[in-house]
Structure 1
Amino acid sequence: MKTEQAHTSVSQDVSAAKIQVEQVRKTFDIGGAEPFVALDGVDLCVSENEFVTVVGPSGCGKSTLMNILVGLDRPTSGRALVDGRQVRGPGPERGMIFQQYALFPWLTVRKNVEFGLKNTVKDKAERRRIAEHFIDLVGLGQFADALPKMLSGGMKQRCAIARAYAVNPSILLMDEPFGALDALTRVRLQEQLLETWSQDRRTVVFITHDVDEAVFLANRVVVMAARPGRIQQIINVDLPYPRNDEVRMSPQFAALRNQVWHAVYHQD
């Protein structure tokens, strides 16, 4: 196990970074004498195909950082780059998965997954082939013709993941995607997500409030602190893939969980 202070994260080879966040500061005018500082001096590099989770207390700026990476918001100062290009808005290389499933209720699973392909894949048969590949990848092949109202919460989220994968983004940005699910479904979807990621590697940045989830999924856990939002620590997760119940019950997992827990809940 290895813990790095936040400033050492930029000592990586930034020229090889898939995502690079440089001294990002974000403030909001909330009507007072001073603006609210949501993020202050955030530096982070994420390598290609890396799985990074971001965890921290409420109000630490996790979702603000995600919105900047997606391109839905811009930093007050500093910058975020993807493949060396500054993020100035949403882009096809970044797929976003929210806690809310955001499925079209009148479309089947297959049609929901095909929807994002309409602008880039003109051939209907090819759209169907691509959609069915990713529907099968997330284990929904038997439900391709089902409407969202016929699916459980976990199945809806798997459909959303298949839709994000189908448009072939090189980056997946996931903001509490399993936060509304019951504990058992959440564990199953964590394992399903890692299985999908192992077969079709993408760079993933995954926000969560759950320490166990953060450790189970990640190559590295980014621990944020609040007021102002900043990176407190970056903790390497030296656990083997594939990850399963045996990994969850291991002493190594317990030690890493305790390390992240202490970093999140015992901040100065």
Structure 2
Amino acid sequence: MSTKISFRDVHKSFPVKGGMFTALQGVSLDIADEEFVTVVGPSGCGKSTLLGMAAGLVEPTAGDVLVDGSPVTGPGPERGVIFQQYALFPWLTVRRNVEFGLKLTSLSAAECRHRAERAIDLVGLADFADALPKTLSGGMKQRCAIARAYAVDPQVLLMDEPFGALDALTRVQLQEQLLRTWSQERRTVMFITHDVDEAVFLARRVVVMAARPGRIHTIVDVGLPYPRTEEIRLSPEFGRIRNDVWHAVYHQDALTA
């Protein structure tokens, strides 16, 4: 399988009072086409900075970030970005919010409507297409944000803790919804999370990062079949992998991590 996203010896430093802060140091990682990768680690390990580089929102101090072998020089329509905050326009309906990103394309109005309706249906919001965001639950708002990203037909989805502000039940439901959508669309996904269970449930590989400076601590292969079900979440194998990731995140040796 070909490489979709590549980080090559990436470094990122920020000026702070009295010197420089190293957010990332020597990060190298390849993410395959159509692969679902989660990135987990302690606060301050540079997870969001790494995703921002793939999105073209953050420039590395050193090293290269490539998508399909070409350097990332800024944002692009082939990369959809979804943040924890929904960033919906409150005066627009679900359908109009999803159509908004398509206004910058050369598509006809009919094709924009078709793409928007397909994306809305994918995330299970067809019955709420004419609703305003203020009438939606937090989980529904996030599904609307995901539909807006899908409508532009990106090859890559970059997701920065998209379910972090949701309650536990809604979070689980959206994890399952996201995997159902991914199984139909098969885009490349890089998903940032603080939640170890979420990281294991979603991914083919879990990238565990260490902090100060931010770097890759270990990568855990998740040898669980798709579709991921509640039975898989409760299985001994899931528990074993979860424990491996948990210990890698929270029991890192400060001298050798």
TM range (shorter): over 0.9
**Structure 1 counterpart of 2:58, from 73, 77, 94:** 73
> Structure 2 CA distance, aligned partners of 1:61 and 1:49?
24
Give a deviation string over 1:146-181, Cα, whole Å, max 9, x none: 000010000000000010000010000000000000
**Structure 2 counterpart of 1:28, from 14, 21, 27:** 14
After superposition, the CA RMSD in angstroms is 0.8
Q: Secondary structure at the match of 1:96?
A: strand
Q: Secondary structure at the match of 1:118?
A: helix
After TM superposition, give the deviation of residue 102 of structure 1 in Å: 0.7
Give the letter aligned to residue 84 of structure 1.
G
In the alignment, structure 2 segments of 5+ residues that lack a partner are none
Summarize the Cα distance change of 1:158–1:193 in structure 2 as closer, same or farther, 3 Å threshold.
same
Give the letter aligned to residue 187 of structure 2.
R
Give a deviation string over 1:217-252, Cα, whole Å, max 9, x none: 000000000000000000100001111110100000
After TM superposition, give the deviation of residue 259 of structure 1 in Å: 0.2
Instruction: Report the equivalent of 2:4.
Output: 18
1:139 equivalent in alignment to 2:87: no
Q: Secondary structure at the match of 1:59?
A: coil
Instruction: Report the equivalent of 1:219.
Output: 204
Instruction: Report the equivalent of 1:82.
Output: 67
Instruction: Report the equivalent of 1:152.
Output: 137
Q: Secondary structure at the match of 1:103?
A: coil
Give a deviation string over 1:104-148, Cα, whole Å, max 9, x none: 100000000111111214421111111111101100000000000
Instruction: Report the equivalent of 2:181.
Output: 196
Instruction: Report the equivalent of 2:47.
Output: 62
Tell me the TM-score normalised to structure 2 length. 0.97
Number of residues of Structure 1 aligned to a counterpart in Structure 2:
253
After TM superposition, give the deviation of residue 31 of structure 1 in Å: 1.8
Instruction: Report the equivalent of 1:184.
Output: 169
Give a deviation string over 1:185-239, Cα, whole Å, max 9, x none: 0000000000000011100000000000000000000000000000000010000
In the alignment, structure 1 segments of 5+ residues that lack a partner are 1-12
**Structure 1 counterpart of 2:22, from 24, 32, 37:** 37
Percent identity between the two aligned chains? 72
Instruction: Report the equivalent of 1:8.
Output: none
